Amino acid sequence: MTTDAKSYLLRAVYILKANANPLILPAILGVLLYLPAASDESPPIFVVMSLMILFVLLPVIYGQYIELITRNRLSSYFQVFRTHWLNYFVVSLVLGMPILILSLLGQVFGLPFWDLIKILSILIDILSIYIFPLVFLIRKHLASIPLGIKCLIGNLNFSLPLVILAVVPSLIDLFSSEVSVTTALSVQMFVLNYIFWIISLFIDFVVFVAAALILKEKLLQP
């Protein structure tokens, strides 16, 4: 690959703009994620419920955009869920395990691993650029992890725009956390956090769709 991935990012933005309906529900549920930041009276169960629903929704939405890329159409949400959810869950669990273990060790031994967890989270975001699209394209779980890392490392210069963009949601989250710590709870804080959430959500899907296009057209051709 002699060029870089910018053209694929632009195509991904076009695909998302032309087919934005799958993003509407997670955008709405983001209100429940950040509502507690606006009022102390918001039930914490809203946060738990939103995270659970989003964890189910994300693989379905990823799967819908894979359907658009590979078949130029949307499919039944139930069919997409049945086809892809288990693979997505297994890979998410494996990739999230280092952070989970580090968090547990920090709690058990009272060690300040927070900065290390931040760095590890950003590293995983970068390494998984091609992993999750592969999960949906080849419909395999564990095999997608080493293959996705190989695709990234072997085409690092080409993929640099994706790497830079993939880091942005983590940086936004860190900035949002710092602002939340130093700013009193308010409606303004809720709105700011929600805007950050929408931006991060859109960037996440832009990177996913662009990576899927690259894999389909350049790396998975027979």
Residue 222 lies in a domain: no
CA distances from 4 to 98, 156, 160, 194 (A): 31, 9, 7, 32
Say how far apart CA 46 and CA 113 lie, in whole Å: 28
Residue 203 lies in a domain: yes
Number of domains making up the chain: 1
Per-residue tokens: 52: 């659970």
Say how far apart CA 136 and CA 187 lie, in whole Å: 38
pLDDT for the residue numbered 148: 95
pTM metric for this prediction: 0.88
Which ranges constitute the DSSP H helices of the chain? 6-18, 24-34, 45-71, 77-109, 114-127, 131-137, 144-154, 156-182, 187-214
- Reported as a pLDDT band with limits 50, 70 and 90, residue 1 is very low
pLDDT for the residue numbered 95: 92
Residue 138 lies in a domain: yes
pLDDT at 158 exceeding the cut of 80: yes
Which tens digits make up the pLDDT trace of 24-56? Answer: 888 887 776 665 544 444 555 665 666 666 678
Say how far apart CA 116 and CA 202 lie, in whole Å: 26
Q: Report the mean per-residue pLDDT for the chain.
A: 84
Residue 189 lies in a domain: yes
Range of the domain at 114: 6-217
Instruction: Please state which of the ranges 13-17, 78-82, 114-118, 185-189 shows the lowest mean pLDDT.
Output: 185-189
Residue among 118, 78, 86, 125 at smallest CA distance from 102: 118
pLDDT at 17 exceeding the cut of 90: yes
Torsion of CA 218, 57, 96, 84, to 10 degrees: -50
Which tens digits make up the pLDDT trace of 51-73? Answer: 666 678 889 999 999 999 999 88
Which residues, 6 or more positions from 14, have their beta carbon under 8 angstroms from its beta carbon?
none
* Cα angle value 80/15/85 (rounded, 5°): 20
The maximal CA–CA distance of the chain, rounded, in angstroms, is 56
Residue 69 lies in a domain: yes
Residue 164 lies in a domain: yes
Which tens digits make up the pLDDT trace of 163-219? Answer: 999 999 888 877 776 666 555 556 777 777 788 888 888 999 999 999 999 999 887
Residue 1 lies in a domain: no
- Reported as a pLDDT band with limits 50, 70 and 90, residue 129 is very high
pLDDT for the residue numbered 191: 79
Residue among 215, 208, 62 at smallest CA distance from 150: 215
